[in-house]
Amino acid sequence: MKNSEALIKVRLSLDTEEKLRLSQWACKSCDAVRKEDEPSIVAGHRQQFSIDSDRILHSLAYSRYIDKTQVFYLIKNDHITHRVLHVQFVSKIARTIGRLLRLNEDLIEAIALGHDIGHTPFGHDGERFLSDICSAHGIGCFLHNVQSVKFLQYIERKGRGWNLTLQVLDGILCHDGEIHEQSLAPNKAKDFKTLEEEMLAKGRDPGVEIWPMTLEGCVVRFADTISYIGRDIEDAIRLEIIRRDEIPDECRDVFGETNGTIVYTLVEDLVSYSIDKPCISFSDKVSDALKVLKEFNRKSIYENPRIKSQQDKIKLMFELLFEKYYDDYMKGREDSDIFLEFLDGMAQRYCVETPPAGVVRDFIAGMTDDYFLTQCHKNLFPSVRQYLPASGKKQRSSFFFIKEAGSISDDREIISACENIIETKPVDKQEIC
C-alpha cells in the first residue's frame, strides 16, 4: 500500500510539473477525457496518455503492423519500408518536434502508434478496393483513419475496445498526411459526439475536412508526411523505379536529395516557424517545395505502372474474398474463418450494431498481407482431396480436385488471377480482435 501511495504521488507530481514545463498550447495529461470512467486509472501511477500508448502497443492490431504494406507490395526485399517501420518513424519524428515545441510527448506517441492501425492489406490500393466494395454494399466509403478508431474503440478485445482518450482517438482520426497544408491550428471544441459525427461524415464524403483538437494531433499529421516523403523516394531508388537525379531541382535546392536531409530540413523549418505559437507551420519556401515533392512522388512512384503490375489480381481477390465471407455470414456457416477467427467470442453489441457487410469489412481490414493471400489460397484455389465431402471413401485418383469457394465466379478466371501472385509463407491462423 505504501509503495502504491508513493507512486500515485509521483504521478500527481508529474501532472503538476506538466503545467509548468509544457507550453501553454500543449494538452496536459490532467485534461484527458475517456468515454468510460476507470477508477483504476485515477488510483494508478501512470499518466493518462502513457496508458493509451501502452494499450495500443499491446493491441492485436498493432502486432499486425509487422506484415502490412506501406507502398510497395509483393516484392521480396527486406529493406523496403513496411507499415510497422513507418509508424516508428512517425512516432520518432513527431516526438522530436513535440519536445522542441514543449508539447505532450505521451499524447504524440499514442496518436502516432495508433494512426495506421486500420490500414488494409496492400496499402492504399487495398484501401481503395475495399472502399469500392463497401460503397457498393451501401455502408459508405472505407477510410483507414476511421477504421483505426473503430478497431481501437469498438473491435479490439472482442468488441470491448480499449477505452482510449478522446484526444488520442481524435488525433488518429484526423492524421491525414496526404493532404497538403502549410499551417494547422487545432479545433479544440470537440467531444465524443463530435468524434462520431466526424467519422460518419468522412464515411459519406472522404473529402470532408476535419482538424485535430490538439496541437499534438497537428504535429503527428505533419510528421506523417515528413516520415514517408523522403523514405518512399529512397525505397523507389532502391527498387530502380526512379533515379536520384530525377528529383525536381527546386526540391533538391531546398531539401537536398536524401531522406536524411529531407527530414532534417522539414523538421527544422516546422519547429522554427511554430515556436510559442498556437499553430504549427512551414515557411512559404519549404511548403511550396514540399508540395512539388509530393506531386513528384505521386506521379513517379505511387502511380507508376511498374509497381501496379499485380493490382488487378489483388482487386479481384478483394472482391472474391468479400463475396465469400459475406455469403458465409449471411448463411451462418460457422466453420468459416469469419466466425472462427473473428466473431468467436465477440461482444453481442458489436454483432447487433454492425451490418453484415460491415462485419466482413472489419475482418478483411484487419488482415496482414500474408494472411490475406493465405485466405485466397484456402478459399479460392482448387485443392487436392483424398476424400469427397461427407464421405470416408478414399478416391482412386489423387488428381480429383474439389474447389472450396463454392459458386464464386468462373473457375478459369479465379485460377488465372491467382496464379503466380507470390510464394507465401503459410499463415493458418490470425486472431483479428
Q: Which of 272, 307, 342 is the last residue of a domain?
A: 307
* Number of domains observed in the structure of the chain: 2
Q: Are 32 and 165 in contact (CB under 8 A)?
A: yes
Q: How far apart are the C-alpha atoms of 241 and 413, rounded to whole Å? A: 30
**Whether the predicted pLDDT of 131 surpasses 60:** yes
How many CB atoms lie under 10 A from the CB of residue 258? 15
Q: Which of 307, 332, 348 is the last residue of a domain?
A: 307
Mapping DSSP onto H, E and C, the string for 368-423 reads CHHHHHHHHHHHHCEEECCECCCCCCECCCCCCEEECCCCCCCHHHHHHHHCCCCC
pLDDT mean over 67-78 = 82
Verify that 97 and 203 share a domain, yes or no.
Answer: yes
Verify that 364 and 276 share a domain, yes or no.
Answer: no
Q: How far apart are the C-alpha atoms of 321 and 327, rounded to whole Å? A: 10
Kindly state whether residue 375 falls inside one of the protein's structural domains.
yes
Verify that 42 and 168 share a domain, yes or no.
Answer: yes
Verify that 110 and 252 share a domain, yes or no.
Answer: yes
Residue 276 falls in which region: left (phi positive, over 0), alpha (psi -120 to 50) or beta: left
Verify that 292 and 335 share a domain, yes or no.
Answer: no
pLDDT of res. 392: 55
pLDDT mean over 168-176 = 95
* E strand or H helix at 86: helix 83-100
Measured in residues, the chain has a length of 433
**Whether the predicted pLDDT of 422 surpasses 80:** no
What values do phi and psi take at 419, rounded to 5? -60, 135
Structure-block grid coordinates of residue 421: 501472385
**Whether the predicted pLDDT of 153 surpasses 90:** yes
pLDDT tens by residue, 12-33 = 888 889 999 999 999 999 999 9
pLDDT of res. 351: 94
pTM, full prediction:
0.88
The contacts of residue 270 (CB under 8 Å, 6+ apart) are 97, 222, 226, 280, 281, 282, 286
Q: Are 178 and 226 in contact (CB under 8 A)?
A: no
Q: Which of 263, 283, 307 is the last residue of a domain?
A: 307
Q: Are 110 and 103 in contact (CB under 8 A)?
A: no
User: Residue 125: which of 247, 302, 3 has the closest Cα?
Assistant: 302
Kindly state whether residue 63 falls inside one of the protein's structural domains.
yes
**119: CATH:** 1.10.3210.10
pLDDT tens by residue, 200-212 = 999 999 999 999 9
pLDDT mean over 21-47 = 94
Q: How far apart are the C-alpha atoms of 305 and 293, rounded to whole Å? A: 19
* E strand or H helix at 172: helix 166-173
Q: Which amino acid is at 72?
A: F
Indicate the range of 252-261, 400-409, 421-430 predicted with least confidence.
400-409
**Whether the predicted pLDDT of 418 surpasses 80:** no
Verify that 337 and 247 share a domain, yes or no.
Answer: no
User: Residue 109: which of 167, 66, 68, 149 has the closest Cα?
Assistant: 167
pLDDT of res. 276: 93
- Bridge-based pairing state of the strands 382-384 and 280-281: unpaired
pLDDT of res. 184: 96
At which residue does the C-alpha cell 482538424 appear?
211
Q: How far apart are the C-alpha atoms of 36 and 50, rounded to whole Å? A: 17
Helix (H, G, I), strand (E, B) or coil at 281: strand
Q: How far apart are the C-alpha atoms of 297 and 229, rounded to whole Å? A: 8
pLDDT tens by residue, 216-232 = 999 999 999 999 999 99
Verify that 390 and 303 share a domain, yes or no.
Answer: no
Structure-block grid coordinates of residue 229: 516523403
What pairs with residue 401 in β-bridges? 384
Q: Are 365 and 120 in contact (CB under 8 A)?
A: yes
Kindly state whether residue 317 falls inside one of the protein's structural domains.
no
Kindly state whether residue 93 falls inside one of the protein's structural domains.
yes
For 378, the domain range is 322-418
pLDDT mean over 322-342 = 96
pLDDT mean over 405-432 = 50
pLDDT tens by residue, 218-267 = 999 999 999 999 999 999 999 999 999 999 999 999 999 999 999 999 99
Verify that 217 and 341 share a domain, yes or no.
Answer: no
Verify that 258 and 331 share a domain, yes or no.
Answer: no
Q: How far apart are the C-alpha atoms of 321 and 301, rounded to whole Å? A: 28
Distance of CA 275 to the CA centre of its chain: 30
The band of 393, judged by pLDDT with boundaries at 50, 70 and 90, is low
Q: Are 296 and 251 in contact (CB under 8 A)?
A: yes
Verify that 291 and 344 share a domain, yes or no.
Answer: no
How many CB atoms lie under 10 A from the CB of residue 23? 16
Verify that 157 and 46 share a domain, yes or no.
Answer: yes
* E strand or H helix at 156: none
Verify that 286 and 382 share a domain, yes or no.
Answer: no
pLDDT of res. 427: 47
